[in-house]
A and B are shown apart, each in its own frame.
Chain A
Amino acid sequence: MRAQPGPRMADTRQVLWHHFQSLEHQKETSALGMWIFLVTEILFFGGMFVCYVVYRTAYPDAWLSGSATLDVRLGAINTAVLIGSSLTMALAVHAAQAGQRRLLVAMLLLTMALGGVFLGIKGVEYHHKWVESLIPGPGFDFHGHGAGVTGVQLFFALYFALTGMHALHLVIGMGLMANLVRQGTAGRFDAAYYTPVEMVGLYWHFVDIVWIFLFPLLYLLGRH
């Protein structure tokens, strides 16, 4: 348990757990734990990326046709939105470091809003695929040039698995951020203690990195 949990003040005595020697020690431990989690996340997405590489090698034409149906403009806009949200997240951590509580909450809210914009655009794209009968399953209907239906269906299965899992991570990140906003508004963070903000930041940037790879792998490969 915390030595003396104090909702308002966040000085060294109140936020330091007794089994750590110092705030620095406690923070490094948190960061290391978060990084270990993120490494398991790399391998979690890695499994799906391997699947992608295997089937792209097996069905190269289907991959090109499938990719060509995606809206590269919406994908690029979403890339910019997510990179923007990483910037506001970094600025949120910076505000926490500087003890600027109002700015911290504002930046967290802005990051959540950008996450919402991303999910909205993603929803529009999913809707297009629904209308075009490109959801893998019995109703799948693809009239392409040359590429077999099996391969294209595999492409879309991976497209939905990868982007869906990525979207789920965004939703979780926004939930974590809502919690940070609540705590930040209550004055739980200041320049001495803002570890939760930094940890959620690491998670958010990781989700951004996943998209940095998904965008070229899914949207850009069939352009030329």
Chain B
Amino acid sequence: MSDHVAPTRLYYAIFAALMILTAVTVTVAFRDLGLLNTWVAMTIAVAKATLVVLYFMHVRWSGRLVPILLAAGLLWLVLLIALTMSDYASREWMAAPTRLG
């Protein structure tokens, strides 16, 4: 998008951060934290994805259009998951009506 040229050492630093986060997520996965395990793993994955998007994909230096587009896409992803799961979670709250009226 932009013609910003980042110094290569920035890319090496991002690579190092991604590798460290990978090591952390593997280490944490071997400890039993109950429900927290999934949340920690997903938080680290989101952090890694953010680093890739911002620096490797240059969104950090792009205009506003790309972040808006990305936010729109993620909004639909969240809707897809949240509405589907709220349906599954709430299906048995009430007995299903056997017939209309």
A residues contacting B by CB (< 8 A) are 24, 27-28, 31-32, 35-36, 38-40, 42-43, 46-47, 49-50, 53-54, 57-58, 72, 76, 79-80, 83-84, 86-87, 89-91, 94, 97-98, 198, 201-202, 205-206, 208-209, 212-213, 215-217, 220-221, 223-224
The proximity string for B residues 1-23 relative to A, scoring 1 for CB distances below 8 Å and 0 otherwise, is 10101101001101100110010
Not counting A24-B3, A87-B56, a sample of 5 additional A-B residue pairs whose C-beta atoms are within 8 angstroms of each other reads: A54-B85, A91-B11, A213-B45, A224-B31, A224-B37
CB of A216 within 8 A of CB of B69, answer: no
Min distance, Cβ A203 to any Cβ of chain B, angstroms:
10
- Please name 27 pairs of A and B residues whose Cβ atoms are closer than 8 Å in the assembled complex, sorted by A: A28-B1, A31-B1, A31-B62, A32-B65, A32-B66, A38-B73, A39-B69, A43-B73, A46-B77, A46-B80, A49-B77, A49-B81, A53-B84, A86-B15, A86-B52, A87-B12, A90-B14, A90-B55, A94-B8, A208-B56, A216-B25, A216-B42, A216-B45, A220-B29, A221-B41, A224-B29, A224-B31
Number of interface residues of B (CB under 8 A): 49
B residues contacting A by CB (< 8 A) are 1, 3, 5-6, 8, 11-12, 14-15, 18-19, 22, 25-26, 29-33, 37-38, 41-42, 44-45, 48-49, 52-53, 55-58, 62-63, 65-66, 69-70, 72-74, 76-77, 80-81, 84-85, 88
Query: Nearest chain-B residue to A27 (Cβ)?
Result: B1
List A contacts of B66 (CB < 8 A). Answer: 31-32, 35
List A contacts of B85 (CB < 8 A). Answer: 53-54, 57
